[in-house]
Amino acid sequence: WLSNDLKEAFARAGIGHLLAVSGIHMALAALLIGGLTRNLLLRSEWITLRFPVKKLATSLALIGAVTYAGLAGFSPSAVRAMIMIIAFGTAFLIDRPQTPLNSLALAAWALLIFNPMYLFGISFQLSFAAVFFLVMFSSYLRSVPKEEKQDSQKTFWNYIRGFILVSLIATLATTPFVAWHFTRVCLVGLLANLLVVPITSFAILPGLLFGSCLLPLFPELTSGIWQGVGRLLDCTVDLVHCISGWGWSAIWIPRPSILQVTLFYLFLVSLAFTRYWKISRAWAVMFFALLLSV
């Protein structure tokens, strides 16, 4: 139902992932459902004293994630996110360790067993590359220390730093595949993500979900919420068209060789492991220089 012009604008702006139901949408939906359920259950002292509230909320969040993936047509990106959330939630429900890489591997195997040709699809490659490197660089995205949480200004800038790092890592992780499939590199992807992702994640998506919950009881209120979300969405699309209209927002490049793509990903992996193996970052810089020379 989306026009080619709109798809092209999102692609040139480096935020084409927002047009697919991916991990960020699924995680937010699960968090909203689980968080709302937990807060409602905690209001009852009788329920709180007799039942594991967190596990009940997690169970409903998992059901919500499956439902959300079904509404998205069980696309590869939605199924990947759904399986990872189910793996995480199930581990919590049965009191087992929650391991992101194992969950990601489980999602990959499930999709490839169902259809091995997914491996050669751009959606599969971009989705798993982004999540894999976000997991690999997770130590750089550590949460705010307790002693710093009292300083609201420092906490705010720590969250901003984390959001910038997430956008940068996801952009770097997907750039080789984008260059391979589309022979194009987006130069404004980081900026566009910093501007648009917060709007879609913390305003548009919650507004749509909140309105869906209120629809059976307050249809007039839901209509007002969705109209407001619609106006915000129109403004967001205008912003995307503005960014994609810049002549230098995306440039055409020759298709990289398999060796270049491999070296780029080896560089990212080596950079991620410098934090664990105590490897001098000078070696990573030298490796990057070798990559540029190729």
Q: What is the mean pLDDT of each run of 10 residues along the chain (294 residues)?
A: 86 82 76 86 84 88 87 78 84 82 84 86 84 84 56 69 83 88 86 87 83 85 92 93 88 87 84 65 59 55
pLDDT in tens, 173-226: 888 888 888 888 888 888 888 888 888 888 888 888 888 878 888 889 999 999
Q: CA 180, CA 259: separation in Å to the nearest integer?
A: 12
Task: Kindly state the DSSP code that residue 217 receives in the 8-state scheme.
Answer: T
Q: Hey, is 145 helix, strand or coil?
A: coil
Residues 188 and 7: their CA atoms lie apart, in Å, by 16
pLDDT, residue 281, reads 57
**Predicted TM-score of the model (pTM):** 0.75
Tell me how far apart the alpha carbons of residues 175 and 171 are, in angstroms, rounded to a whole number: 6
pLDDT of residue 246: 87
DSSP character string of 27-71: HHHHHHHHHHHHHHHHT-HHHHHHS-HHHHHHHHHHHHHHHHHHH
What is the reported pLDDT for 279? 53
From CA 11, how far away is CA 243, in angstroms rounded? 11
Q: At what angle do helices 258-277 and 122-136 cross, to 10 degrees?
A: 20
Confidence (pLDDT) at 250:
87
Q: List Cβ neighbours of 243 (8 Å cut-off, separation of 6 or more).
A: 12, 13, 188, 191, 192, 195, 249
Proportion of the chain in helix, strand, coil states, percent, rounded to 5: 80, 0, 20
β-bridge partners, 186: 250
Q: Are strands 250-252 and 184-186 parallel, antiparallel or unpaired?
A: antiparallel
Q: Which of 291, 268, 288 is nearest to 172 (CA)?
A: 268
Q: For 132-194, where are the E strands, in sequence order?
A: 184-186
